[in-house]
Amino acid sequence: MSGRIIQFGTSRFLQAHAAFFIHEAAEAGQTVGPITVVQVSGDAGRSGRVAAFGRPEGYPVVIRGMADGETIDRTVQVKSVDRGLSAASDWAEITRLFVEEADFVVSNTGDTGYRTSPDEDRFSSDEHAPKSFPAKLAFLLCRRWRASARPLVVLPCELVTGNGQALRQAVVESARLNELPAAFFEWLDREVAFADTLVDRIVSEPIEPVGAVAEPYALWAIQQAPGVRLPCTHDQIVLTPNLEPYERLKLHILNLGHTYLAEIWQTEGHAIDQTVRGILADPNVRQRLEALYDTEVVPGFAAKGMGDEARSYVATTLDRFSNPFLNHRIADIAQHHAQKVERRIAAFLDWVGKTPADYEAPILRKLTARYPASGGAA
């Protein structure tokens, strides 16, 4: 289905997500890959990880957790990655592969991955990479355009709403900084498809020098658009005309549940090192969370025509929260709590709106009222 995939980012998340899916597709007989992993930052401390990507035996991904009430504990040797390269030391080879062999780009460059650096993003030479990730991608796209103008699909996995269009805009800005000709931008519009995507999998631990521990649940939702196609067929990859339902389920069930538990943890004197699994071992807390889902969250989704999807996702979420192998500290979840209340809870209430008229959600409204910045004072 596809040729080489260039993956920007060495994160354990992508090791257990995109690369894992590609491996399973290849094992099932699909023609897909291989993947070249590119270290974007040039951090010398990760040189061992970069080198380890080339091992013929692959790397381990340990899948541990709950699925449909059953405990899962299995290890997969992922062999979809054939080499790791560093943008700091292997730029000429990265350029060659990108120009000659790539059919797809995948990225996960962290919270600051789309930031540009105008002072350091000019294309100084073919031997040295520009500073920012968008400028690196603009440089590589320019070389591809000049050499062959072959089409390309870009599948960003950063946790940014509208990540494909956000990355495309950053690439355009970098290309303009470097005064690329109008014909390049015309080709970019016509032949390079930047897809908006949503990723969802908890990857809890690294395995050194390369590998990861992850939960069984995973989703890679990719929005349909002209030129967008999937790198492989996999039951955890979805091509959809609309990402919003997937975003709402994740944000207003999984993430909302985390924030509700963080509120209980902060206000009711639970242990500083408490985990999600640990706090839900308290029958009273678990009952309160389940009641919140049943009486306020699922009815809100039902009012928007998504009741069945919400009930199914709640069951999956409770399995994920009960993962016996995952130590997800609530102190980490509670960081930036007021902002999370706004995005996960107040935004849910705004989305549901005033229909139906008897929808009250007293627990959620009481929680938002404690944080005026979340809109609870309105």
List the single range of 14-18, 42-46, 56-60, 269-273 with lowest mean pLDDT: 42-46
Averaged pLDDT, 142-158:
97
What CA–CA distance (Å, rounded) separates 187 from 147? 13
Averaged pLDDT, 201-222:
94
Averaged pLDDT, 226-252:
97
Q: What mean pLDDT is reported for the chain?
A: 93
Predicted local distance difference test score (pLDDT) of residue 303: 94
Would you give the end-to-end CA distance of the chain in angstroms? 52
Averaged pLDDT, 216-233:
97
Predicted local distance difference test score (pLDDT) of residue 66: 84
Is the confidence at residue 187, as pLDDT, over 90? yes
Averaged pLDDT, 350-357:
85
Record the pTM: 0.90
Task: Report residue 312's pLDDT band, with 50, 70 and 90 as the boundaries.
Answer: very high
List the single range of 35-44, 127-136, 194-203, 343-352 with lowest mean pLDDT: 35-44
Predicted local distance difference test score (pLDDT) of residue 27: 97
- Pick the more confident residue, 187 or 204: 187
DSSP H or E stretch at residue 152: strand 152-156
Burial of 377 (C-beta count, 10 Å sphere; 0-12/13-18/19+): exposed
Predicted local distance difference test score (pLDDT) of residue 45: 66
- Pick the more confident residue, 309 or 378: 309
**Cα-only R_g, the chain:** 22
Task: Report residue 13's pLDDT band, with 50, 70 and 90 as the boundaries.
Answer: very high
Is the confidence at residue 378, as pLDDT, over 60? no
Query: What is the share, in percent, of the chain residues with pLDDT greater than 70?
Result: 96
Domains of the chain in sequence order = 4-240 (3.40.50.720), 244-374 (1.10.1040.10)
69: left (phi over 0), alpha (psi -120 to 50) or beta: left
Task: Report residue 1's pLDDT band, with 50, 70 and 90 as the boundaries.
Answer: low
- Pick the more confident residue, 126 or 241: 241
Residues in contact with 153: Cβ distance below 8 Å, sequence separation at least 6, in sequence order: 103, 104, 105, 192, 193, 195, 227, 228, 229, 231
Q: Three-state DSSP class for 78? A: strand
Residue 301 main-chain phi, psi, to 5 deg:
-65, -40
Cα distances (Å, whole numbers) of residue 59 to 33, 47, 55, 237: 16, 16, 8, 22
Is the confidence at residue 99, as pLDDT, over 60? yes
Averaged pLDDT, 181-199:
98
Averaged pLDDT, 38-57:
85
Task: Report residue 377's pLDDT band, with 50, 70 and 90 as the boundaries.
Answer: very low
* pLDDT tens digits along 69-95: 788 999 999 999 999 999 999 999 999
Is the confidence at residue 5, as pLDDT, over 50? yes
Question: What is the sign of the dihedral through the CA atoms of 307, 311, 312 and 316?
Answer: positive
Is the confidence at residue 376, as pLDDT, over 50? no
Predicted local distance difference test score (pLDDT) of residue 42: 72
